[in-house]
Amino acid sequence: MTSTAPPLSSPLSRRELIACGTAALVAMPAAARAASDYPARSIQFIIPYAPGGGFDSYVRFVSPVMERALPRAVSIVPMNVTAGSGARGITQLYRAKPDGYTVGIFDVPGMFIQQAIQGSAAYDLSKFAWIGCMGEGERYLVGVGANSPLKTFADLQALSAKRAVKFSCTGLEGTATAAAIIGTETLGIRRQLITGYRGSSDYIVAAIRGDSDAVISATSTMMRFAKAGQLRILASFEAHASLPGIPDATSLGKPELDQITVERPVAAPPGTPPEIQNTLSGALSKALADPKVTAWAKENDIVMRSKTPAEAAALVERQRLFFERWKRYLVAG
């Protein structure tokens, strides 16, 4: 009996090839198809604070370098979403489509305070797709305006013996506010928080202007004003102060101050495909290793080192545990 089937080696017709390609594309999961074409358009980078502060500066400097590390030429567009002491921006990120076209930078542990106050209705930090971090955790400095009558940290302690020291800050949900609360509790400094400022630049300027007695903020932001002669640094939360002549965590006998850091993890919305998550993580890592970024970081007293998604998730979990230790102070203010 003679078979009528075509030989196994017969070439497929053009129509058959198209049909096979279409069938394979249909069989491919939608997420995989999206990842294979990613990125195809601009990526929005949410900054949950006002322009001019530390978080804004990081994103605006790193984003153009990160663009060049992506597999396709697209723009990364920074966008400041400033309401609610950062909560609005993170909530917007949480509800964004998980397609890799919206990412955001986080203020940790400040965002844990937000979640503790508001509950998990707005967002759940445990569900974000972590991408990496913008630099190592920064320590904090205590400063006063250049014209302040407080010349030393001992002067600040003496003022605290008379009345509560006024510290300017964003709100109870800010990470620098958390540092002020934990730092003053640890040091035995009586405090009064002057809240309502939109970002770090605003509340540091408030201290320079005399709206408050002092300010506590991250090293990179504080040093911009100190180098300009507008701010006097009185103390450092570092184990060993990088600035000579000021007391630090060791000389103050409070080594636990060195554990107070501001972390800047970066994430995409929950449900972002791992392939896209890894693409973004790789681009961020390459950007932070770029000579242009490392030179900028050195100039601003920053250590720029990214993390893998798993490392970023582990860091956020450590910060959650740290927050839990101080929760009763941070939520109450």
pLDDT single digits (tens) 267-311: 999 999 999 999 999 999 999 999 999 999 888 778 888 899 999
Average pLDDT over residues 172-185: 84
Query: Tell me, what's the pLDDT at 332?
Result: 61
Q: What distance in Å separates the CA atoms of residue 83 and residue 88, rounded to the nearest whole number? A: 6
Residue span(s) of the chain under CATH 3.40.190.150 come to 42-137+263-332
CB atoms within 10 A of CB 44: 17
Residue range 42-137+263-332 in CATH 3.40.190.150: yes
* pLDDT over threshold 60, residue 17: no
Is 326 or 207 the better-scoring residue by pLDDT?
207
Query: What's the confidence (pLDDT) of residue 318?
Result: 87
Q: How far apart are CA 62 and CA 134, in angstroms?
A: 9
Instruction: Delimit the CATH 3.40.190.10 region(s) of the chain.
Output: 140-259
Task: Flag the least confident range among 41-50, 196-205, 209-218, 219-228.
Answer: 196-205
What pLDDT shows up at residue 298? 86
Question: Tell me, what's the pLDDT at 7?
Answer: 45
Q: What residues contact 23, with CB distance under 8 A and at least 6 apart?
A: none
Q: Give the mean pLDDT of the chain.
A: 87
Q: Tell me yes or no: is domain 140-259 CATH 3.30.2010.10.
A: no
Cβ-based neighbours of 165, under 8 Å, separated by 6 or more: 156, 159, 184, 189, 190, 191, 192, 213, 214
pTM of the full predicted structure? Answer: 0.71
Q: Which of the four pLDDT bands, split at 50, 70 and 90, describes residue 171?
A: confident
For residue 109, whether the previous peptide bond is cis, meaning omega lies within 30 degrees of 0, is: yes
Question: Nearest CA to 269 among 254, 280, 258, 283?
Answer: 280
Stronger pLDDT, 64 or 300, i.e. the higher one: 64
